[in-house]
Amino acid sequence: MASDEPKAKKLKLSENEKTESPSKKAAAELSSNSLFGMGNPLLDICAVVDKDFLDKYTLKPNDQILAEDKHKALFDELVKKFKVEYHAGGATQNSIKIAQWMIQEPHKVGTFFGCIGKDKFGEILKQKAEEAHVDAQYYEQDQEPTGTCAACITGDNRSLVANLAAANCYEKEKHLDLEENWELVEKAKVYYIAGFFLTVSLESILKVAKHASEKNKLFCMNLSAPFICQFFKDNLMQVMPYIDVLFGNESEAATFAKEQDFETKDIKEIAKKAQALPKVNTKRKRIVVFTQGKDETIMAHSDKIETFPVLKIDPKDIVDTNGAGDAFVGGFLSGLVQEKPLDQCVRAAHYSANVIIRRSGCTFPEKPDFK
């Protein structure tokens, strides 16, 4: 697929990187476990349902909610009553999966940690991660069932009901700290954690973030949702000094700016101010990437702000915008881990998002058509 984006000159990953043209510098040799992600694994259960089903569980046709007690029976009924498709989901896992898809070979470039239950849905999640060629090393416990997200499809609408369950039960001491697991963390050179995990295990995030900073590796994070910037800002700001690449969309950026008293609503200014926040590893200047849906993507890097137009798409070709943000990050990470120039990382990100919004759920064809 041809890109509409202008050919930007090479953007440097760090202040002291030698400037070589992309044609002279081949993509870095990749080994397994080069990219590490940690987050909330959810099994997406997708089905086309009828209005009666939505009404029974008081669901709106196009909404995202957390499951309440009244939704407990929904998941089993969905499986029994309708033809369902299962997909390995959750924000971070989606991004790692997309990055692996963009890279293709070798398999298991992406590692993923998260907590699941010892149950049928957990087994399906393991199988789906394997099919995506991601090295998913789950912490399995039997206190809570595997987290799920029901995607109830009616026409062009998707009503999402998430039940975090086991995803909330991740324990650093019982998983991340184990020698064989920490070895996988140490193998990575790029790290990504969505902001949602700030509600689960701040200590796990900090351990990984500090390791990346000490070893001059890339630690990436996503603002993920306005409520994270608002209600978990203390946790977020504990991690901020270690963040090398910060992702977010325009609504998350606006809430972040408000909570940080930036006194501006201008997205470019917000990106600059976020970039200027204190940072532990001074060998790398922070990169801030804000998406704005169909509008241009904004990136603050080095001492400048650059904008990148997204790929054009006919509105009638948009099937489902859910997962577009995860796909954008996945494409960007696929470039970062191959040490590609930043403009190429953005191009890969736009391509991935463009593919995902043409399909239902965070799914993709067998191979990317990306050069």
| Active site residues per annotation | 326
Q: Can you tell me the distance from the alpha carbon of 260 to that of 273, in angstroms, rounded to the nearest whole number?
A: 10
Q: For the chain, where are the alpha helices, taking DSSP H only?
A: 51-56, 74-81, 91-103, 120-131, 179-187, 202-214, 226-231, 233-239, 250-259, 267-275, 324-337, 342-356
- CA angle centred on 117, ends 92 and 105, rounded to 5°: 40
How far are the Cα atoms of 18, 121, 164, 250, 343 from residue 361, in angstroms, in the given order? 40, 18, 18, 22, 27
For residue 133, is it left (φ>0), alpha (ψ between -120 and 50) or beta? Answer: left
- CA separation, residue 34 to residues 132, 322, 334 (Å): 16, 27, 10
Report how far apart, in Å, the C-alpha atoms of 275 and of each of 13, 124, 191, 205 are: 14, 40, 18, 20
What count of residues does the chain have? 371
Nearest to 161 by CA among 228, 68, 225, 252: 68
Q: Are 247 and 256 in contact (CB under 8 A)?
A: no
Which among 57, 289, 21, 38 has a CA at the least distance from the CA of 154? 57
Residue 54 near residue 159, CB atoms below 8 Å: yes
Closest C-alpha among 314, 335, 138 to residue 218:
335
Omega before 106 within 30 of 0, i.e. cis: yes
